[in-house]
Amino acid sequence: MKLGIIGLPQCGKTTLYCALTHDYNPTGQIFVDGRAQIDTAVVSVPDQRIDWLSTHYHPKKTSYAKITFQDISGITSGQESFPRALLTILSQVDGFIHVVRNFDDPNIPHPMQRIDAESDINILLDEFTLNDMLTVERRLESLSSEWDKGGGRTRTEIEYEQKLFEQLHDALETDYGIGTVHLNKQQQKLVSGFGFLTSKPMLIVLNSDDKSQKTKNIINTNRHETPKRDAISLMSKLEMEIAQLEENDASFFMKEYGISEPGLDKVIESAYKMMSLKSFFTVGNDEVRAWTITDDTSTPQAAGTIHSDMQSGFIRAEVMSFADLKELGSESSVKAAGKWRLEGKEYIVQDGDIVNIRFSPPRNNQ
């Protein structure tokens, strides 16, 4: 999963990125040719269940689920549209972490010379809407010329797509954008290549400091009350400083500032919830590993996240839940209690399932 850290200039994106990744690599400029500067890091998703499984199975390797964070600079307001390269980067992430400035510091310029988190959120949402609108309009134009020219696809097919894009256009005229439009499988296929910005989940991070205003009212505004948007408040600068400390010192400072869990845990937890993500596990002597899936993933689809051969040759899945294993202490006790199951293709994998895929390997053609 790839999350792009975005926000207006100087709002604290790189500071948050450093806090989350324990990395330090400042970005900020846009290259002369208009390409946005991005920095990428892969982070393990902390999960105490994996820690427990690793102690239980003593595998050669323990692998946590991974999240890729990208520090994406170069978003400003008032342009006609985002440069193409920036738009491509934005359209390829699975979700956004939208950093919003909520700290006052006369030494750090704000592009609008004021501190107003809610307006900043709306500026960026408007930019996203504008860019999606341009993409939709361009598509409608090319569909209409396809219609005029004839040949290729049938008129019914073109008309179906036109109706869909008109519906997206209408949605962009509301506060929520494309994210709330319900699409069937065929429609999802037609829009999947466009990577619409307003359709992606967005976690708003109010970058605050200990003097910042209370943030509840900002978080609760209507425009963000869609299933795919959520907001949290973090002190990124402090979190970045803490991330650079030894463990003992870090927990001392966290207590001192009343921070109950590291920023990374808070961001990941909120992102998983917002995106309805779940983890399932594979276990054995070689490796204990966590895998990330979405809410309604079936057993063959889950198998496919491990390897495509496991999906195509899927037979059944052996499943037990982490909670049962932890409670009963061993696989054999889980079996004895009748809580170890064989599941078919219809089963929807649950968060915390420990899964072993039975599959027939593909035949070698040679």
Ligand X SMILES: Nc1nc2c(ncn2[C@@H]2O[C@H](COP(=O)(O)OP(=O)(O)OP(=O)(O)O)[C@@H](O)[C@H]2O)c(=O)[nH]1
135 binds Mg ion (CB under 5 A): no
Shortest Å distance, C-beta 44 to ligand X: 23
Q: Are 11 and 99 in contact (CB under 8 A)?
A: yes
- The interface region with Mg ion, picked from 12-20, 97-105, 256-264, 342-350 by CB under 5 A, is 12-20
- Sites of contact with ligand X (CB under 6 A): 7, 9-15, 26-28, 73, 103, 105, 108, 207, 209, 235-237
270 binds Mg ion (CB under 5 A): no
Q: Which is nearer to ligand X, 10 or 301 (CB)?
A: 10
CA 153, 155, 156, 157 dihedral sign is: positive
Nearest CA-CA partner of 76 in 135, 27, 16, 36: 36
Report how far residue 259's alpha carbon sits from residue 57's, in angstroms, rounded to the nearest whole number: 33
Nearest CA-CA partner of 112 in 6, 208, 10, 211: 10
Q: Which is nearer to ligand X, 28 or 361 (CB)?
A: 28
Element (H, E) at 358: strand 353-359
Shortest Å distance, C-beta 280 to ligand X: 35
Q: Show the site string, 71-90: x = touches Mg ion by CB under 5 A, - = not.
A: --x-----------------
Q: Which is nearer to Mg ion, 14 or 91 (CB)?
A: 14
Burial of 89 (0-12, 13-18, 19+ CB in 10 A): buried
27 binds Mg ion (CB under 5 A): yes
- The interface region with Mg ion, picked from 7-15, 272-280, 288-296, 323-331 by CB under 5 A, is 7-15
| Token pair in block for residue 152 | 């290729």
- The interface region with Mg ion, picked from 68-76, 129-137, 185-193, 279-287 by CB under 5 A, is 68-76
Shortest Å distance, C-beta 39 to Mg ion: 8
Residue 207 interacts with, from Mg ion, ligand X, none (CB under 5-8 Å by kind)? ligand X
Using the structure block, give the residue that is written with the tokens 């065929």: 186
Q: Which is nearer to ligand X, 143 or 238 (CB)?
A: 238
Of all residues in the shown chain, the one whose CB is closest to Mg ion is 14
Residue 46 interacts with, from Mg ion, ligand X, none (CB under 5-8 Å by kind)? none
Report how far residue 167's alpha carbon sits from residue 178's, in angstroms, rounded to the nearest whole number: 9
Report how far residue 15's alpha carbon sits from residue 192's, in angstroms, rounded to the nearest whole number: 32
Residues 6 or more apart from 128 whose CB is under 8 A from it? 177, 197, 198
Nearest CA-CA partner of 83 in 40, 123, 32: 32
- The interface region with Mg ion, picked from 8-16, 78-86, 153-161, 219-227 by CB under 5 A, is 8-16
Size of residue set near Mg ion by CB under 5 A: 5
109 binds Mg ion (CB under 5 A): no
208 binds Mg ion (CB under 5 A): no
| Token pair in block for residue 322 | 């982490």
Residue 99, SS3 per DSSP: strand
Residue 105 interacts with, from Mg ion, ligand X, none (CB under 5-8 Å by kind)? ligand X
Q: Which is nearer to ligand X, 97 or 133 (CB)?
A: 97
Shortest Å distance, C-beta 11 to ligand X: 5
Q: What DSSP line would sit under 119-177, residue for residue?
A: HHHHHHHHHHHHHHHHHHHHHHHHHHHHHHH-SSS-HHHHHHHHHHHHHHHHHHTSSSG
* Residue 88 CA: distances (Å) to CA of 35, 75, 98, 297: 10, 13, 17, 27
Q: Which residues bind Mg ion (CB under 5 A)?
A: 13-14, 27-28, 73
